[in-house]
Chains A and B, each alone.
Chain A
Amino acid sequence: MSIIDAIKSKAVRSPWLYRINAGSCNGCDVELATTALIPRYDVERLGCKYCGSPKHADIVLITGPVTSMVKEKVLRVYEEIPDPKVTVAVGVCPISGGVFRGSYSVPIMLDDIIPVDVNVPGCPPRPQAILEGVAMALDIWKTRI
């Protein structure tokens, strides 16, 4: 039994990342791409992989304030991610609306519609901060699997 548990617990070494752009200015997305693509920050060493399909994802990174046009779509994509999953909000936009706060098209915040596990503040956050956010998300993911 304990061997099976030990094998099962190895699952935490393979978190796949998925990005949702909820009306971001693209600054945070560029930073995410940097984190993924540049050898210096290489997320693959943590076993991470960016995947193109929400159905393959374990950790979802959401950028941007949730604009009213994109809200339904974000919810729909979010529901397509199989459990267990962890949500990371990247940038100040999903936390408070950031520079778009008070705009007519940003009536709600991200945590009104989706349970957020980790916030990574910054406008845009540095790659190191994003990596730290992903590492924190990993710790949370360990308890869910």
Chain B
Amino acid sequence: MLDMLSHSFHLLIFPGGLFALLLGLLLKGFDRKICARLQRRVGPPILQPFYDIIKLSQKETIIPDTANKAMFKFAPVFGFMGMMVAAMLIPVPGVWNGASGLGDMLMLLYLLPIPAIAFMLAGSASSSPYGAIGTSREMVLMFAYEIPLLVVLLTVALKAGGADGSEFSLAQVVAFQHENGSFGFNLSMLPAFIAFLCFIPGTMGVVPFDLPEAEPELLEGPLLEYSGPLLAMFNLMSALKLVVVMGLGVALFFPGTIPGGAVANLAWFIFKCFMLMLVSVTIVRTATGRLRTDQTFKFYLKYPSVLAYVSLGLTLLFK
């Protein structure tokens, strides 16, 4: 009974649910503001993503005649739910150490592609040609960036396993780093960290890897036919995903804590998420242009994957 209650709390309030939603939308607001400032514009208010959600939830929903209606409505809900569960697994070092004994790193590996799958469902259900192209691009992109992610997670698991075996529980990974120093400052883990940094813009679908949505050419691809509350659902999903990916990065590489109790550590966690987003999303998307699909695929196979394998080899050698 108590277990049930604590699980629902983690799913709905903290660290999943409400907390993750608010943090995700806030991070998105900062992302847009900083991007605008880097381009010497005034930029939108920080709370802009909240206004967008409020607006969208009051608009009319139009469903195309030719669309598969059930699937069209199901796709955003599916993606949103998947990310809610994923956000529940993210440990906030010093405040909450993650759901224990779940092998949650493997869970996350399966949960992280859910938004991409939701996009594919949405694109093919909406029966729009732009959605179809977006779907095929999303698929290519997913295969490309999942490889480095898998190898990075394997490397971290091996490293955190110590002298023997491997450790697939995020709580244990964080605990191991508290004892032996953060992986982000470890020379043999540096390539894996860079690989993870390359993985982030791909999975978040931002320039230069925003192939499925590519606004000027595909008119937002799978999202083209969505309007009103269903579109708001997709926005919430990507806000949650931002928190999940940043939280995962913090847990894997920089789970250090500061003295000062839970409140200080919560602020520290938010600050780390923000810095990670600044480096891997905001600056990257402001400074680059979009790559072609084949270039993206080659990029992911050539650099992040190789870097991740280098880390894996080093970890195995110096175990």
Bitwise interface map of A from 27 to 57 toward B, beta carbon under 8 Å scored 1, else 0: 0000000000001001011010001110110
A13 to B23, CA, bound (A): 20
Chain A contact surface mostly: loop
Supposing A10-B54, A52-B215, A52-B219 touch, asked if A47 and B43 sit within 8 A by C-beta, the answer is no
Q: In the assembled complex, which residues on chain B have CB atoms less than 8 Å from the CB atom of A10?
A: 50-51, 54-55
**Chain B 36-89 interface residues, beta-carbon cutoff 8 Å to A:** 36, 39-45, 48, 50-52, 54-55, 58-62
- CB-CB nearest in chain A for B126: A55
A5 → chain B closest CB, angstroms = 12
Interface size on A, residues (CB 8 A): 24
A56 to B224, CA, bound (A): 8
A45 touches B43 (CB 8 A): yes
Q: In the assembled complex, which residues on chain B have CB atoms less than 8 Å from the CB atom of A83?
A: 59-60
B223 touches A82 (CB 8 A): no
Q: In the assembled complex, which residues on chain A have CB atoms less than 8 Å from the CB atom of B48?
A: 13-14, 47
**Chain A 101-145 interface residues, beta-carbon cutoff 8 Å to B:** 145
Supposing A8-B54, A10-B54, A53-B225 touch, asked if A82 and B61 sit within 8 A by C-beta, the answer is yes
Q: In the assembled complex, which residues on chain B have CB atoms less than 8 Å from the CB atom of A47?
A: 44-45, 48, 51
Q: Tell me, yes or no, whether B146 is within 8 Å of chain A by CB.
A: no
Q: In the assembled complex, which residues on chain B have CB atoms less than 8 Å from the CB atom of A44?
A: 32, 36, 41-44
A53 touches B45 (CB 8 A): no
A145 → chain B closest CB, angstroms = 6
Q: In the assembled complex, which residues on chain A have CB atoms less than 8 Å from the CB atom of B44?
A: 44-45, 47
B18 → chain A closest CB, angstroms = 15
Chain B contact surface mostly: loop
A58 touches B55 (CB 8 A): yes
**Chain A 50-68 interface residues, beta-carbon cutoff 8 Å to B:** 51-53, 55-56, 58
Q: Tell me, yes or no, whether A7 is within 8 Å of chain B by CB.
A: yes
Q: Tell me, yes or no, whether B113 is within 8 Å of chain A by CB.
A: no
Q: In the assembled complex, which residues on chain A have CB atoms less than 8 Å from the CB atom of B226?
A: 55-56
Q: In the assembled complex, which residues on chain B have CB atoms less than 8 Å from the CB atom of A51?
A: 220
Task: Kindly identify which residue among B45, B58, B231 contacts A56, using a CB–CB cutoff of 8 Å.
Answer: B231
A83 to B227, CA, bound (A): 10
Q: In the assembled complex, which residues on chain B have CB atoms less than 8 Å from the CB atom of A75?
A: none
Q: Tell me, yes or no, whether A69 is within 8 Å of chain B by CB.
A: no
Task: Kindly identify which residue among A7, A42, A80 contacts B54, using a CB–CB cutoff of 8 Å.
Answer: A7
A45 → chain B closest CB, angstroms = 4
Bitwise interface map of B from 219 to 235 toward A, beta carbon under 8 Å scored 1, else 0: 11001111110010000
Q: Tell me, yes or no, whether A77 is within 8 Å of chain B by CB.
A: no
A39 touches B40 (CB 8 A): yes
**Chain A 83-111 interface residues, beta-carbon cutoff 8 Å to B:** 83-84
B220 touches A11 (CB 8 A): no
B57 → chain A closest CB, angstroms = 8
- CB-CB nearest in chain A for B33: A44
A14 to B57, CA, bound (A): 12
Q: In the assembled complex, which residues on chain B have CB atoms less than 8 Å from the CB atom of A145?
A: 55, 58
Task: Kindly identify which residue among B45, B219, B220 contacts A13, using a CB–CB cutoff of 8 Å.
Answer: B45
Q: Tell me, yes or no, whether B260 is within 8 Å of chain A by CB.
A: no
Q: Which residues of B contact A (CB under 8 A)?
A: 32, 36, 39-45, 48, 50-52, 54-55, 58-62, 215-216, 218-220, 223-228, 231
Q: Which 8 A-B pairs have the closest CB atoms?
A: A52-B219, A82-B60, A11-B55, A55-B227, A14-B51, A45-B42, A13-B51, A42-B41
10 A-B contacts (beta carbon < 8 Å): A7-B54, A13-B48, A13-B51, A14-B54, A42-B43, A44-B36, A52-B215, A52-B220, A53-B219, A56-B231
17 other contacts beyond A14-B54, A45-B42, with CB at 8 A cut-off?
A10-B50, A11-B51, A11-B54, A13-B51, A14-B51, A42-B41, A44-B41, A47-B44, A51-B220, A52-B216, A52-B224, A55-B226, A55-B227, A58-B59, A82-B227, A82-B228, A84-B59
Q: Which residues of A contact B (CB under 8 A)?
A: 7-8, 10-15, 39, 42, 44-45, 47, 51-53, 55-56, 58, 80, 82-84, 145
